[in-house]
Amino acid sequence: MSTKKVVIIYSGGMDSYTVLHLAKHEGYEVHAVSFNYGQRHSKELLYAEKVTRKFNIPHKIVDISSINQLIAGSSLTSNIDVPQGHYEEASMKQTVVPNRNMILLSLAVGYAVSIKAEAVYFGAHSGDHAIYPDCRTEFVSTMNEVCKIANYEAVEVRAPFLKSDKIEILARGLALNLDYNDTWTCYNGREKACGKCGACQERLEAFAGNNMTDPLEYE
């Protein structure tokens, strides 16, 4: 019997990196897809490329930055300053890209249908629930309903860390012996991670929560 295929939405960050390896560990033939949607920098995508090459995982990087004609206003895709400090509602709402996950999932599901993959994995987690409506349990379960019927082939949307926080995701990855030097998290795309933006702070907290030191270099 041939190995079953799945598609992973892989940003190059630590969550989707862990999801990628989890699906691989579960025995799936993993197909990674990364989206360039006009992020302020493409450093995460370089990490994604490096990792998929290292593990010989088929990888597509799809440039969908033309959609910025339609969706505007997030500090992740425009020139608004990236908020510093910990995730807080007022400032972190600036990082919301309208309908981001529905867009990325719909493309990944199209890919899954094309290559006859049974599921799409993505790295939504409980830490994002407060700010991002499209990382919540109801969103994922309703997307699953629609992805069952949108094509002749049902595709399952799986978010294995939907109820886990970053500390738990990292714990799972460390238990799989994953090397987090292969991941990029910082919202700024400089040589070293800034250590100050909300994304860096969450990452550092995840390592602290696991009594570990992040192998990544910081400014």
Residue 97, φ and ψ in degrees, nearest 5:
-95, 120
Residue with token string 């460390």: 174
To a copy of itself, the closest distance from the beta carbon of 195 in angstroms equals: 30
Q: Which is nearer to a copy of itself, 134 or 165 (CB)?
A: 134
Q: At what angle do helices 100-115 and 137-149 cross, to 10 degrees?
A: 40
CB-CB contact of 36 with 42 (8 Å): yes
Contacts to a copy of itself by CB under 8 A: 33, 60, 62-64, 66-67, 69-73, 96-103, 105-111, 113-114, 133-134, 136, 138-139, 142-143, 145-147, 149-152
Our CB check for a copy of itself shows the closer of 58 and 215 to be: 58
Which tokens go with 141?
A: 């379960």
State which residue, 34 or 185, has the beta carbon closest to a copy of itself. 34
Question: Is there a binding annotation on residue 70?
Answer: no
Which residue number, 14 or 112, has a Cβ lying nearer to a copy of itself?
A: 112
**From the CB of 77, what's the least distance to a copy of itself, in Å?**
11
Q: Is 126 annotated as a binding residue?
A: no
Residue 34: closest CA among 25, 26, 43? 43
Nearer to a copy of itself, 57 or 108 (CB): 108
Q: Is 27 annotated as a binding residue?
A: no
CB of 86 to a copy of itself, least distance (A): 21
Closest separation in Å from C-beta 117 to a copy of itself: 11
- The response to whether 186 counts as a known ligand-binding position is yes
Task: Supply the minimum distance, in Å, between the C-beta of residue 66 and a copy of itself.
Answer: 5
- Annotated binding residues for ATP, as ranges? 10-20
- Annotated binding residues for Zn(2+), as ranges? 186, 194, 197, 200
